[in-house]
């Protein structure tokens, strides 16, 4: 099994006619993902290497049965694109775009929660999601993933997502699903959203969680792990040497008022029974050790 996406997921790419959208959308199709449509109101009726282009998401859903969307459009248009996807009938929306204004993120996040509670939003500013061998939505290189495995991955960092995938694959440890939730201040999907699904997924035996400084998401996840999870969790917190008050990479990765420090997050995760890697290169080895222990 998997979480969020599998071989039955049918994806419409909002922005498929652009350079980045077509590059990654066609790579995802070559991987085996069912890329069934793209949207561009000015190019409706055309196609991108056989993928039909529709004027709206609603048209694409009606004609192709798309149930997921991937957004590859510039930041100023993301808010309207998210709402178009939800109103058009898809249930899973992946926003790859970075630089989306925080007030836009807060607005569409809350509108979705209020008016479209059945819709799951992933991102913005994330690498997407991959269930190896079945479905890849976003920019994760499928070549570094290994199908048929039992380790789930959830990460705020795109680059460290790839690091964890590659390490596991090099060790011969396959993955169930790998989710990059992004590092913006208002992520559509939280650590707990993913952890709860991995806990419920019978094919996932263990989980890697990669966090970073800033905010309280990791501490909240630690409490969930401590009280709700029975599966082992290996973690890593990025930004351990970051000076207070400086934003490090992601918009949400900033220590403010003594909150959101790496030390506090690591302490909470250890208290929850997690194995905490000291640097990214230890993640795969720690997971291999946990799996050997059973």
Q: How many residues does the chain have?
A: 294
Q: Which residues of 80-101 are buried (b: 16+ CB within 10 A; e: fewer)?
A: ebbbbbbebbbebbbbbbbebe
SS3 of 221, please?
A: helix
**Catalytic residue check, 250:** yes
Question: Is 124 in contact with 150 (CB distance < 8 Å)?
Answer: no
Catalytic site residue from 24, 103, 118, 250: 250
Sheet containing 68-71, strands listed edge to edge, beginning at the edge strand earlier in sequence = 47-48, 51-54, 34-39, 10-14, 68-71, 92-95, 120-122
Integer angstrom CA distances of residue 84 from 24, 80, 95, 200: 21, 6, 13, 31
Q: 217 in helix, strand or coil?
A: helix
Range list of H helices, 248-294: 262-271, 283-293
* Residue 147 near residue 134 (C-beta atoms within 8 A): yes
* Residues marked as catalytic: 250
């Amino acid at each position: 099994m998997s979480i969020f996406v599998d071989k039955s997921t049918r994806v419409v790419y909002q922005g498929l006619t652009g350079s980045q959208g077509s590059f990654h959308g066609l790579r995802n199709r070559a991987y085996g993902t069912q890329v069934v449509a793209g949207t561009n109101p000015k190019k409706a009726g055309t196609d991108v290497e056989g993928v039909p282009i529709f004027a709206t998401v609603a048209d694409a859903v009606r004609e192709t049965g798309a149930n997921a969307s991937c957004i590859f459009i510039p930041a100023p248009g993301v808010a309207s694109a998210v709402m178009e996807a939800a109103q058009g009938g898809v249930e899973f929306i992946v926003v790859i775009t970075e630089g989306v204004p925080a007030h836009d993120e807060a607005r569409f996040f809350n509108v979705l929660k209020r008016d479209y509670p059945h819709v799951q939003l992933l991102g913005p500013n994330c690498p997407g999601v991959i269930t190896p061998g079945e479905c890849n939505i976003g920019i994760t290189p499928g070549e570094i993933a290994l199908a048929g495995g039992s380790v789930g991955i959830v990460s705020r960092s795109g680059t460290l997502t790839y690091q964890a995938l590659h390490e596991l694959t090099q060790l011969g440890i396959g993955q169930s699903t790998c989710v990059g939730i992004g590092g913006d201040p208002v992520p559509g999907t939280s650590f707990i959203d993913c952890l709860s699904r991995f806990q419920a997924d019978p094919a996932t035996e263990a989980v890697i969680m990669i966090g970073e400084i800033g905010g309280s998401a990791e501490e909240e996840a630690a409490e969930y792990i401590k009280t709700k999870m029975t599966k082992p969790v290996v973690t890593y917190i990025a930004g351990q040497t970051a000076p207070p008050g400086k934003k490090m990479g992601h918009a949400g990765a900033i220590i403010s008022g003594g909150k959101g420090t790496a030390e506090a997050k690591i302490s909470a995760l250890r208290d929850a029974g997690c194995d905490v890697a000291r640097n990214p290169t230890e993640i795969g080895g720690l997971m291999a050790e946990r799996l050997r222990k059973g």
